[in-house]
Each structure stands twice: as structure tokens, then as C-alpha cells.
């Protein structure tokens, strides 16, 4: 299939400054009557009109996605490498190229300043084109390809995308310590459905309670078509079944702190050695050990 030719597209950019405030207190700023009019003409500043200053013309292709139309900007692909974002924090990302090399990347200004509904220009899981420069391990992200799926959470004004281009979300909750919250499961299920991601519900720490207590809840979600697995890192319960559900899929583990996400992954693949922590005895809540999304390859 022939590649579409890029065309000029008018796109909006992020607001980088507040709208100018009209000064109505003219009487408090008396102008010197002797001010040279020629000096005024020489220092007059001309700017764009209103919101028009936040629009520019770029070369690219409009591509239909599940959530609307995405702008795929034109770049010189012959100088770039295809890769996948392994980790992203702020404006810095780690990208693994198709040949296995990893690059510490910054983001091209055009990519990060184009207006968008979500907070993040680049997230873990994104397919990108990078341009190596300087040091062999340094590169610039020149383009982010349209996302086919994503997991997000609400932010004040814009959507906060956590990870993209994955097949399924493993929603991890604990049977106790911290106690199970069905409302939290529902929130994650809604977010997964919105992002076109299949969900698996994992009830961890099942050794702390009688599993019979959760049969009514399990029945509700099972009737809705969700895969449900009961696990215990201590007893080794359900680990093999969870591992089989992950096989051949790209998955994201999500859930509140302290439910055992890192412990489960360490049990699935002992090479990972992810940091874990105990529940706070004062608040009975988990401590944050996973602070950003990162792609991991498991055996």
C-alpha cells in the first residue's frame, strides 16, 4: 500500500502563556507629556491576534484513530530508527530500538508543544521514530505513532495516559490488607474499556481470608465475561494460571499501592527483583514502590 503524501495542516499548539490582561487603570499611569513620539513609534510591539498565535502550519497526514483524528507529522525517516518507549519521565525517555539498542531520548519541541487532550506527549509503550545524535546512546524522539490502546486516569483538566499499545490490563486488588474495594475494580474496568484494553481481575493475598467470601463478587464479574484469578505469593496459589494468562500478551499491572503488584511479578519471573515494601502499620495502606510505568520482559 502506497504511503500517503504529507500535506500542509493547520494545527493548534499548547498555551504557553496567559492571555494578555487589558489595563483599565489608565489614570494611575500618567504619561510624561514630554515623551518623544518618535521613541514611541520605535518601540511599538506588534503581536498576533488572540488565539491565532497558537496555530501553525505543519507537514503531515491526518490519520483516523479510535478516538478521532491524529496528525502524523512528516519527518526524514531515512535518518531515524523505529523503537518502543520503555520508560518515560517528564521530557526524558528510554527507547529500545528494533535492533535491541537503548537510547536516552529527549522529545522534539514540535511533538511536545502540539495541542492535545492528554497530559503526556510520550508515555511508556509508545511506538516512536528516533534520530540518534551525539553520543551513541543519545537520541531525539522525532515522531510518536498513533496509539491503538492505552490506560489512563483522570487529571484536573486533561487525561493522564499511563501506558499505551498494550493488550490487556491485570487489575490487582488484595483480599485483605488493604481491604478489597469493588468500586476501585469498577474504576479500572471503565478505564480499560475506554482505552480498548481487555481486563483480567486478580485478587491477591487470598491466603488471608476464606475464598468463599468472594464467590458472589467473583460470580458478578465472571458473568460479565472477565477473567478472574485468585493468587497468593506466600502460598504460591494461582501463579501458574496468571502466568498462562500473560503468555503471548503485552500486559499492564495496575492497582493501588500495597496490593502486591511487584511481588506477583517477582514470583512470575524471579529475574526481575522489583522493589517491594510492607503495609504501613499506622495507616494500613501500601507504600509507593513503583513510581512510573516501565516495560519489562518476563520469561
Q: What integer pLDDT is reported at residue 17 of this predicted model?
A: 44
Mean pLDDT score, 259-265: 94
Pick the CATH number of 56-144 from 3.40.50.970, 1.10.287.180, 3.40.50.2300, 2.40.50.140: 2.40.50.140
Mean pLDDT score, 71-99: 91
For the whole model, what pTM was predicted?
Answer: 0.77
Mean pLDDT score, 3-23: 59
Same fold, 56-144 and 166-268: no
Which residues neighbour 69 within 8 Å (Cβ) at sequence distance 6 or greater? Answer: 62, 63
Q: What integer pLDDT is reported at residue 234 of this predicted model?
A: 94
3-class DSSP state of 251: strand
Pick the CATH number of 166-268 from 3.40.50.970, 3.40.50.2300, 3.40.50.150, 3.40.50.300: 3.40.50.300
The Cα–Cα gap between 62 and 64 comes to 7
Confidence band, pLDDT 50/70/90 cuts, at residue 257: confident
Q: What integer pLDDT is reported at residue 75 of this predicted model?
A: 84
Q: For residue range 198-229, what is the model confidence (pLDDT) as tens digits?
A: 999 999 999 999 999 999 999 999 999 999 99
Mean pLDDT score, 264-288: 72
Mean pLDDT score, 235-257: 95
Q: Is pLDDT of 86 > 60?
A: yes
Q: Is pLDDT of 54 > 90?
A: no
Region of poorest pLDDT, from 51-60, 185-194, 267-276: 51-60
Confidence band, pLDDT 50/70/90 cuts, at residue 33: very low
Q: What integer pLDDT is reported at residue 60 of this predicted model?
A: 62
C-alpha cell recorded at residue 78:
531515512
Mean pLDDT score, 117-130: 89
Q: How many residues does the chain have?
A: 299
The Cα–Cα gap between 131 and 215 comes to 53
Task: Give how far the C-alpha of residue 61 lies from the chain's centroid of Cα atoms, to the nearest Å.
Answer: 23
The Cα–Cα gap between 274 and 154 comes to 27
The Cα–Cα gap between 97 and 85 comes to 9
Mean pLDDT score, 163-167: 96
Selected residue with higher pLDDT from 192 and 298: 192
Q: Is pLDDT of 28 > 70?
A: no
Q: Is pLDDT of 43 > 50?
A: no
Q: What integer pLDDT is reported at residue 91 of this predicted model?
A: 84
Region of poorest pLDDT, from 85-94, 158-167, 241-250, 282-291: 282-291
What residue spans define the domains of the chain?
56-144, 166-268
Confidence band, pLDDT 50/70/90 cuts, at residue 283: very low
Q: Is pLDDT of 78 > 80?
A: yes
Residue whose C-alpha cell reads 478516538 in the numeric block: 67
Mean pLDDT score, 250-272: 94
Amino acid at each position: 500500500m502506497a504511503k500517503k503524501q504529507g500535506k500542509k495542516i493547520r494545527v493548534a499548539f499548547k498555551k504557553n502563556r496567559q492571555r494578555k490582561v487589558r489595563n483599565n487603570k489608565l489614570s494611575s499611569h500618567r504619561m510624561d507629556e514630554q515623551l518623544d513620539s518618535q521613541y514611541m513609534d520605535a518601540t511599538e510591539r506588534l503581536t498576533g491576534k488572540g488565539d491565532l498565535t497558537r496555530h501553525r502550519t505543519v507537514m503531515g497526514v491526518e490519520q483516523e484513530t479510535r478516538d478521532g483524528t491524529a496528525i502524523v507529522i512528516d519527518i526524514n525517516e531515512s535518518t531515524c530508527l523505529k523503537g518502543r518507549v520503555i520508560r518515560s519521565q517528564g521530557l526524558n525517555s528510554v527507547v529500545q530500538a528494533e535492533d535491541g539498542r537503548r537510547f536516552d531520548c529527549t522529545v522534539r519541541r514540535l511533538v511536545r508543544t502540539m495541542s492535545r487532550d492528554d497530559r503526556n506527549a510520550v508515555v511508556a509503550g509508545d511506538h516512536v521514530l528516533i534520530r540518534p545524535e551525539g553520543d551513541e546512546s543519545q537520541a531525539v524522539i522525532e515522531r510518536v505513532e498513533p496509539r491503538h490502546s492505552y490506560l489512563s486516569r483522570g487529571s484536573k483538566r486533561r487525561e493522564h495516559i499511563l501506558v499505551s499499545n498494550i493488550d490487556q490490563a491485570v487489575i490487582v486488588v488484595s483480599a485483605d490488607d488493604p481491604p478489597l474495594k469493588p468500586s476501585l475494580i469498577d474504576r479500572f474496568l471503565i478505564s480499560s474499556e475506554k482505552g480498548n484494553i481487555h481486563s483480567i481481575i486478580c485478587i491477591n493475598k487470598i491466603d488471608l481470608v476464606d475464598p468463599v467470601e468472594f464467590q458472589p463478587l467473583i460470580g458478578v464479574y465472571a458473568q460479565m465475561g472477565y477473567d478472574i484469578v485468585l493468587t497468593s505469593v506466600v502460598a504460591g496459589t494461582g501463579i501458574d494460571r496468571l502466568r498462562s494468562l500473560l503468555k503471548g500478551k503485552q500486559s499492564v499491572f495496575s492497582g493501588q499501592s500495597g496490593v502486591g503488584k511487584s511481588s506477583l511479578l517477582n514470583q512470575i519471573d524471579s529475574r526481575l527483583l522489583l522493589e517491594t515494601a510492607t503495609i504501613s502499620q499506622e495507616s494500613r495502606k501500601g507504600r509507593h514502590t513503583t513510581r512510573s510505568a516501565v516495560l519489562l520482559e518476563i520469561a
